[in-house]
Structure 1
Amino acid sequence: MTQLLTKTEIQEQAKVLSGWTVEESKLHITRTFKDFIQAIEFVNKLVEPAESAGHHPDIKISYNKVKITLTTHDAGGLTQADFDVAQTISQIK
């Protein structure tokens, strides 16, 4: 099983993720786009990196807003995999 990060490790890693917040052992970010089409195009860009990492975000789409939530469900909280995927997502335009 994947090892959970400590509170200190989570705080340290969260400092370098612009726009992400940590709530209830989950990483969250909401991205806003010009319209629904751009929001969907962004979501489609998440498929390959998520599949490659074997770690998939929860995604909520509301017109031009995309809310992404990361947590490691089987570990019951945040792991290094969540921060790695968050870093990758942060680089996607």
Structure 2
Amino acid sequence: GRVAWDGLVVDVTDLKNHEIRLEESQKIARLGNWNYDVATGQIKWSKQLFRLFGRDPAQAEPTYLENLQLYHPEDAAKLHQAVEQALATGES
């Protein structure tokens, strides 16, 4: 499919195909992923992550702090420390 915006045409077919393959791979491997937009504070979960945690995808994703509570406390502390370091240094 193509998306037009202000006279610019971009073919997003490959991107959509990659997303479909990623979703299928996550389902087979029983993995999920989430992205954290530090500018807005929003978390975006993959469909598979909703399945793994038994949450309804129609519900909103958890907040960053709610997301951390889903992890073992030691892992949540490591994850939070990594996020804080990335925010402080600008590194991923």
Max Rg structure: 2
Q: TM-score normalized by structure 2?
A: 0.27
Structure with the bigger percentage of helix: 2
Structure with the bigger percentage of strand: 1
Larger RCO, structures 1/2 (Cα 8 Å, 6+ apart): 1
Q: TM-score normalized by structure 1?
A: 0.27
